[in-house]
Chain A
Amino acid sequence: MTEPERYTCEDVFRRLDDFLDRELGPTEMELVQRHLDSCEQCAREHRFEARVIDSIRGKLAHLRAPDLLVKRVSRLLEDEKHRR
């Protein structure tokens, strides 16, 4: 096994984005989490980034498709059914 048992702040910093998106493998996720549990500075940075992402996600949330668009799409698909 070459995997280190502990991550440094630098190791965690380089993996922060992937960690936030849960795109690391299980071992790496675990090692980052373990570091965050014991390092207040990295934990603060992580909390901050996570909060910003959540907030942006909430504010860019779904717009409803306009009724007219839904009608047009339905009509377009009806036409396609008869077209063949």
Chain B
Amino acid sequence: MEPGAPPTGAAPPGDETADFERLLMPLLGSAYSTAFRLTRNAADAEDLVQEAVLLACRGFGGFEAGTNFKAWFFRILTNAYFSKYRQQRRRGTAVELEDTPELYLYLQTASLGLHAKVTDPAEALMNRLDAELVGAALQELPDEYRAVAALYFINDMTYDDIAASLDVPIGTVRSRLHRARRMLQRALWRAAQEHGIVADLDAGTA
């Protein structure tokens, strides 16, 4: 038998499903986390994961043994998401976010004078932004940026794995991710302003 030959047909169907289950179950937490960031709510995230599991299970014959199961499964999950939820809404704020320059938070905190006041200005700011605010900032990104950011931040994926998961070229992943990070920085700064964190940092009471 050739190496890498598809296992399809070799094993009885029940066994194949058992193989699938063995590969899938350790990924459920990250699948749910990613689905939650994509759909923005728990109920839709659970539905999306179940839909992806069913599609993946039935399409498991198409998975090439020995290749990256995680990327293969996440591709099915993100495809399911995009076909179901895409274009559901467009936020006006997204346009503004897309123009965010590089080093956005660095420059904002510098002009606040924070760099002269503390040894680690990034930490001084980020310590004040809790998980809920960071999650909310991610929600502001348009779909295609949010998907890349979720795979990158939650799953610690390389550009290659993200490209395989989203079925886009690696150059697209690179430019979207870099941009997504800048957009996220701007959304975080706005959250910091709205929650009085910037004022606190400015007054030195952080």
Binding site for B on A (CB under 8 A): 13, 16-18, 21, 23, 44-45, 47-49, 51-53, 55-57, 59-66, 68-70, 72-74, 76-77, 80-81, 84
B134 touching A76 by the CB < 8 A rule? Answer: no
- Name the B residues within 8 Å of A60 (CB-CB): 33, 37, 131, 134-135, 138, 150, 153-154
Of the A-B pairs whose beta carbons lie under 8 Å apart in the complex, a sample of 26, sorted by A's number, is A16-B102, A17-B181, A45-B103, A47-B122, A48-B103, A48-B122, A51-B122, A52-B105, A52-B122, A56-B184, A57-B156, A59-B129, A59-B130, A59-B131, A60-B138, A62-B154, A65-B31, A65-B32, A66-B32, A69-B28, A69-B32, A72-B46, A76-B57, A77-B17, A77-B53, A81-B14
* Least CB separation from B137: chain A residue: A56
Number of A-B contacts (CB under 8 A): 118
A80 touching B17 by the CB < 8 A rule? Answer: yes
Docked complex Cα distance between A70 and B33 (Å): 13
- Residues B43-73 near A (CB distance < 8 A): 46, 49-50, 53-54, 57-58
Docked complex Cα distance between A81 and B14 (Å): 5
- Residues B162-178 near A (CB distance < 8 A): 174, 177-178
* Whole-angstrom distance between the Cβ of B64 and the nearest chain A Cβ: 20
Known: A17-B178, A81-B17. Contact between A56 and B153, CB under 8 A?
yes
* Least CB separation from B184: chain A residue: A56
Docked complex Cα distance between A84 and B21 (Å): 15
A66 touching B153 by the CB < 8 A rule? Answer: no
